[in-house]
Amino acid sequence: MTTRDDAYDLIGVGFGPSNLALAVRLAQSDAAGLLRTTYLERQPEFGWHRGMLLDDSRMQISFLKDLAMLRDPTSRFTFVNYLFEQGRLQDFVNLKQFYPTRIEFHDYLRWVARGFDDLVGYGEDVTSIEPVFDTRDRRVVTHVRVRSLDAAGRVRERAARALSIGIGGAPAVPAPFASLAARRDPALVHSSAYLSSIGALIGDGSARRRVAVIGGGQSAAEVFVDLTRRFPNVDATLIMRGPALRPADDSPFVNEIFNPSFTDVIYAQPDDRRRATLETFRSTNYSVVDRPLIESIYELFYMQRVRADVRHRLIANASIDSAGRIETNARESGIELHVRAGEGAQRCVERFDAVVLATGYRRDGHLALLEGLTDALGVSPARCDVTRDYRLQTGGHFQPHIYLQGCCEDTHGLSDTLLSVLACRADEIAASLLQRAPQPPRADAIRAQAHNGASDSLAAVAL
């Protein structure tokens, strides 16, 4: 059964922090009551990186970079107001922390999201996006049709004048692990599902388990430390391409690249210069680890030497040639890695009961969603430019606006996939969207209406 709805002014595909920030901005707009909006989210409820909500993990950006603060410090949707309404503001001040725990920030995001429950279709997976042509001129696209599948298996179709795609990243799986991932091997998990999967991976704790963590960034380090601290039956091995765990550069001048105003600087640069700038600052966000975490890992290895009890390892300068399933008997199974590491890239075979891929995310999921628009656009969405206001640049015949959030790093800078620009990006998208939205009645129009038939008392109320 297919259910069809009338046209919306905006459909948000995904309801993570990006579209949540947009919902906040639109809710505070003068035209809020005139826009028909909805958001479609695959998850059954709001959730942000649930698989990595480790007890002691902290945000890597200031709480001031929340959903609204940098745009409007007086907004009721700020993290500070969340603390106030939860009765924890004074206690948080006493912590003297700019960086809340990831668990608390996730709770803040959920707190905001609950205010928009009536606008969100949770448990709906968007399966296709197609053009809707003008009945009088088949060359003109007036809307897009969004088809989704809900948790009960029902198909729903909605038309929209604008889309905001904010679906986040999809787990990146290195080539040697592709076949295992395709078969959903139970011994292989991406860090995005770490907390929900680790129990099944390591068992009840009665048997010794060998677990490899692949990656050299913050998530890999956090997973590795969690394995060593929480699970006494686990021997953990961190395998990374680089020669050493490197600290993130979060010094003040460098951190200016995450300022919303820096987006203008990046966007205005020629392509080659922009690529060079992004590469120069790559160490602020990729394959780097917070310094305190690096120091705790180093101390862990040092104390192993003191105790002469080496259980946990770091294999650096490593490349993995292949990964395959091993199944020798009912009691022994797992994953075998062929690794090249050390002097001369010597090849060795490593066997693990489980492997955690902390290998980051791909940011191209929107391309598959938009593939159904290729013929109408006259070109693949991948070849369309993105305007400064995050809108896919289309020809005049294609009237719907399509905004991309979290997949414009190449044009808008390293902050695009992070929380740093949420509030200001939402402001820019909302401004672009509202240019085409129905306008609220002007005061002089209300006065004229009142003069032409309403009583003086009603006119006063209208004003």
Domain, as residue range, for 347: 171-248+285-357
**Does residue 377 form part of some domain?**
yes
Residues 304, 227, single domain; the answer is yes
Arithmetic mean of pLDDT, 139-159: 96
**Does residue 341 form part of some domain?**
yes
Residues 310, 378, single domain; the answer is no
Pick the last residue of a domain from 357, 380, 414: 357
Arithmetic mean of pLDDT, 439-456: 42
Arithmetic mean of pLDDT, 165-187: 96
**Does residue 455 form part of some domain?**
no
Average pLDDT, rounded, for the chain: 91
Beta-carbon contacts of residue 434 (< 8 Å; ≥ 6 apart): 29, 31
- 286-302 pLDDT, tens digit per residue, is 999 999 999 999 999 99
Separation of alpha carbons 360 and 282, rounded Å: 14
pLDDT at site 438:
59
pLDDT at site 330:
53
pLDDT at site 337:
97
Residues 300, 398, single domain; the answer is no
First-to-last CA distance in the chain?
Answer: 47
Residues 62, 13, single domain; the answer is yes
Beta-sheet pairing, 361-362 with 170-171: antiparallel
pLDDT at site 435:
87
Contact between residue 105 and residue 59 where contact means Cβ atoms under 8 Å apart: yes
Q: What count of other Cβ atoms lies within 10 Å of the Cβ of residue 309?
A: 9
**Does residue 269 form part of some domain?**
no
pLDDT at site 331:
58
Amino acid present at 442: R
Separation of alpha carbons 68 and 252, rounded Å: 22
Residues 193, 109, single domain; the answer is no
The torsion of the CA quartet 109, 22, 164, 268, rounded to 10 degrees, works out to: -110
Question: In the chain, what percentage of residues exceed pLDDT 70?
Answer: 93
Sign of CA dihedral 177, 180, 183, 186: negative
Q: 53 falls in which pLDDT band (50, 70, 90)?
A: very high
pLDDT at site 301:
97
* Residue 268 in tokens: 């205005």
Contact between residue 146 and residue 127 where contact means Cβ atoms under 8 Å apart: no
Residues 139, 186, single domain; the answer is no
Residues 27, 92, single domain; the answer is yes
Arithmetic mean of pLDDT, 296-314: 96
Residues 81, 177, single domain; the answer is no
- 260-296 pLDDT, tens digit per residue, is 999 999 999 999 999 999 999 988 889 999 999 999 9
Amino acid present at 67: L
Pick the last residue of a domain from 307, 341, 357: 357
- 164-174 pLDDT, tens digit per residue, is 999 999 999 99
Residues 64, 201, single domain; the answer is no
Pick the last residue of a domain from 329, 357, 385: 357
Residues 370, 294, single domain; the answer is no
Q: At what angle do helices 194-202 and 218-230 cross, to 10 degrees?
A: 40
**Does residue 426 form part of some domain?**
yes
Please classify residue 19 by burial: count the beta carbons closer than 10 Å to its beta carbon, then call 0-12 exposed, 13-18 middle and 19+ buried.
buried
pLDDT above 90 for 241: yes
Please classify residue 443 by burial: count the beta carbons closer than 10 Å to its beta carbon, then call 0-12 exposed, 13-18 middle and 19+ buried.
exposed
Residues 132, 49, single domain; the answer is yes
- Compute the C-alpha angle 112/3/406, nearest 5°: 40
Residues 130, 187, single domain; the answer is no
- 73-92 pLDDT, tens digit per residue, is 999 999 999 999 999 999 99
Q: What count of other Cβ atoms lies within 10 Å of the Cβ of residue 91?
A: 10
**Does residue 111 form part of some domain?**
yes
Strand order of the β-sheet with 155-160 is 2-4, 155-160, 141-149, 125-133
pLDDT at site 333:
79
pLDDT above 60 for 407: yes
**Does residue 303 form part of some domain?**
yes
pLDDT above 50 for 6: yes
How many domains is the chain built from? 2
Amino acid present at 457: S
Amino acid present at 277: T
**Does residue 263 form part of some domain?**
no
CATH of residue 210: 3.50.50.60
pLDDT at site 459:
28
Separation of alpha carbons 428 and 223, rounded Å: 36
pLDDT at site 183:
95
